Amino acid sequence: MKLSNDQIQQYTKDGLLYLPNVFSEQEVAAMKDELGTLMATPSPDIAYEEDGKTIRALHGCHLHNEFFNKLSKQARIVQPCMQLLADQDLYLHQFKVNVKTPFNGEYWPWHQDFVYWHMGDAVPTPKNLTAIVFLDEITEFNAPVFFIPGSQKEGSINNLDRSKLATQGKDWKVNFSTKPNYTIDADKVSDLIDQNGLISVKGPAGSVVFFDSNVIHASARNISPFYRRMIFLAYNACDNTPPEHLGKQRPEFLASHDYSSISPMDALIP
């Protein structure tokens, strides 16, 4: 699937691009089935909400689930990402599912993603982006993701303290909690929203949002009776891989240890 020049220009300006209905109802149903199976299977890659039993996120599902491995290689996702990374070969850096359970799915504070992949995994530059796949309809009720359009132009706002590079491996769960290590303070968020505005991306299940690793985003607590399941596929350019000795501090289910470029594939459901 090729993006138009207008779509690429919009992404360059806003730091994000929304495409409705990329996956069919049948494909989304299959994603939810596969996710249900993984949620029922204890695994070290699962992060819980503060109650210690509600699943907050699952990670690295492509490593042990063939269906999600195929999803991570879908041309409908990978080809637009290659275009948005200026036609770079790319690999999947991180696969995560944020579940945001009804009534209980906690918030994600204002942050940028690149700082986590730089400080946690020594990814050198922000030549990376994420594709979100909606598994549920996203409305104003079930905690949509908020984006500050154009905020990627600020670069990394947090201090990239090179003396602490790739030292996050020990306690990885903190960066998947409501209090991750690198957040953007309220004054900065207010200033940037004054300048750029604020959007929340809503749309039917099966839709996709591509967003730059430095665009500021957040999401509120889900107090609705509706799930807000989203799959986050983070891709990195193959010419932007971590130094070999630093890139493997965090578990492979958080940061890929395989940097081989993806050959886009088509069929998700045989």
Least CB distance to Fe ion at residue 53 (A): 24
Exactly one of 111, 118, 127, 228 binds ligand 6CS (CB under 6 A); that residue is: 111
- Mask of contacts with ligand 6CS, 179-218, x by CB under 6 A? -x--------------------------------------
Residue 110 interacts with ligand 6CS (CB under 6 A)?
no
Going by the DSSP 8-state scheme, the letter that residue 162 receives in this structure is: G
- What residue 259 binds from ligand 6CS, Fe ion, none (CB within 5 to 8 A, per partner kind)? none
What is the Cα–Cα distance from 239 to 256, expressed in whole angstroms? 15
Least CB distance to Fe ion at residue 242 (A): 19
The number of residues that bind Fe ion (CB under 5 A) is 1
Question: 176 or 227: whose CB is closer to ligand 6CS?
Answer: 176
Residue 242 interacts with ligand 6CS (CB under 6 A)?
no
Buried b (16+ CB within 10 A) or exposed e, 98-123: bbbbbebbbebebbbbbbbbbbbbbb
Buried b (16+ CB within 10 A) or exposed e, 229-262: bbbbbbbbbbebbbeeeebbbbeebbbbeebeeb
Of 15, 1, 76, whose CA–CA distance to 233 is shortest?
76
Going by the DSSP 8-state scheme, the letter that residue 82 receives in this structure is: H
Least CB distance to ligand 6CS at residue 24 (A): 27
Residue 235 interacts with ligand 6CS (CB under 6 A)?
no
